[in-house]
Amino acid sequence: MSRFIETIKLLDGHFYLLDYHQKRVEQTIAHFYKKTSTLDLTSYLAEKDVPAQGLYKCRIIYEEYILSVEFLPYSIKPINSLKIVHSDSIQYPFKFEQRELLTRLYEKKGECDEIIIVQKNQVTDASYANLVFYNGK
């Protein structure tokens, strides 16, 4: 079975959007294991020795249960150039630990810092960061 990853923002000891992350973990477990999740991220993380100051990404690897958790200092990667990469075949509805398909697309970036993935003429994702579009309002 595949292993999954959940990455949560941790700033000055506070986890962000835990409800959202909890929901995604539950949906993943329901889909792959055909059962209701017993993972409670809030309770699990409350038992961990969490950095009290600074910006970190909390990286959780899990299957039906949590396999590991680590807190990595986070700094925003400067992105000055983007390359559009087309792939109508990539499917990434769940956050798998193995990212081979994304890695292959990322290798097409050439001299650019990051890629934007386009599927069937629709912008869908980037290899690492979330995409946000602003219409001026």
**How do residues 109-126 score in pLDDT, each as one tens digit?**
999 999 999 999 999 888
Q: Assign 2 a pLDDT band (cuts: 50, 70, 90).
A: confident
* 3-state secondary structure at position 19: helix
**pLDDT value of residue 91:** 75
> Is the pLDDT score of 44 beyond 80?
yes
Rounded to an integer, the average pLDDT of 61-90 is 92
Judge if pTM exceeds 0.85. no
- What is the rounded distance in angstroms from the CA atom of residue 40 to the CA atom of residue 32? 18
